[in-house]
Every structure is written in C-alpha cells, then in structure tokens.
Amino acid sequence: QPPPTCLDESVTLKQGVMNRSKLIEGGKRLRKNWSNCYLAVTHYYLLFFKDMKSAQSGAKPEITIDLTGAMISWSPEKSSRKNCFQVSTVAGQQVLLQEECALTCKEWFDLIKNAIQRLPMV
Ligand code: I3S
C-alpha cells in the first residue's frame, strides 16, 4: 500500500492536532524539539502535516510513518510532559507524541495500536 501523498478523508481513521517530537530520523538521534502538528491516521500510515490548514488544502505530509511492523508504547521516561507515547518504525524512525488530555491521548494511542495490530508482522 503506497503512502498517501496528501490528506485523503476516505482512508483517514482520525485526524487532529498533536504535539510531536522526532527522536530518531535516518538513523540519527535528534535533539528533542516539540512542535504542534496535524496528524492523520490511516490503516497503514501516520501522516504528519504542518497544520490543519495545510493538510486540508492538499499539502504533502511533512513526515510519513509506515505502521507495518511498527511498535508503539507509552514512554513516560522520555519526557517531562504527561501523556507521551512513542512510535518506532521498521526503518528506524522514532517519534514521540503527546497531548494534554489523557483521554484524547489514549484514543490516539489505542487507534494507532489497533492499526498496527491489524497489519502483518514483519
Ligand atoms: O529529554 P530532554 O533533553 O530533557 O528534553 C528536553 C530538551 O529537548 C529541551 O530542549 P533543549 O535541548 O534546548 O534543552 C526541550 O525544550 C524540552 O521540551 C525537552 O524536554 P521535555 O521533557 O519537554 O520532553
């Protein structure tokens, strides 16, 4: 399943604002740097857009995360912020996601976890 090149409502399970910090990209550990982003979850991918406006006007995602074989876990030790979880990909990308509202954050977590579990293991 090739990654969507823009927000596609027909395959989007959930979309909304999240706080994100990349941890590892292209095999390199990055300095933690939180930013607000607009996240869309599909059955196969996480798509991170700059903000809602750019997502809804057809912009390309800034980051695309392949959920096949990915791992997700709560990671309170990775940040002083509450409600943090991390997603790690087979390709070695790692992002931290965070949201102030515990309930909303758990909804994102459960949805992404379910999406991962439906995909084949690699
Ligand atoms: O895990 P760290 O290194 O304490 O993460 C903090 C730093 O990345 C900090 O930036 P500086 O590298 O300029 O100090 C960020 O501003 C903080 O947000 C990071 O900590 P939190 O606990 O917010 O994830």
pLDDT category, 82, cuts 50, 70, 90? very high
Whether the per-residue pLDDT at 62 is higher than 90: the answer is yes
Cα(110)–Cα(94) distance, integer angstroms: 18
CB of 75 sitting under 6 A from ligand 1:
no
CB of 82 sitting under 6 A from ligand 1:
no
Tens digits of per-residue pLDDT, 18-59? 999 999 998 899 999 999 999 999 999 999 999 999 999 999
Q: Does the pTM exceed 0.90? A: yes
Exposed / middle / buried, residue 10 (Cβ in 10 Å: 0-12, 13-18, 19+): exposed
Residue the block writes with tokens 């990654």: 3
Interface confidence (ipTM) of the complex? 0.85
Please report how many Cα atoms fall inside a 13 Å half-sphere around the Cα of residue 81, on the Cβ side.
21
Cα(95)–Cα(18) distance, integer angstroms: 12
Cα(96)–Cα(73) distance, integer angstroms: 10
CB of 81 sitting under 6 A from ligand 1:
yes
Cα(106)–Cα(83) distance, integer angstroms: 8
**With contact defined as beta carbons under 8 Å apart, do 32 and 21 qualify?**
yes
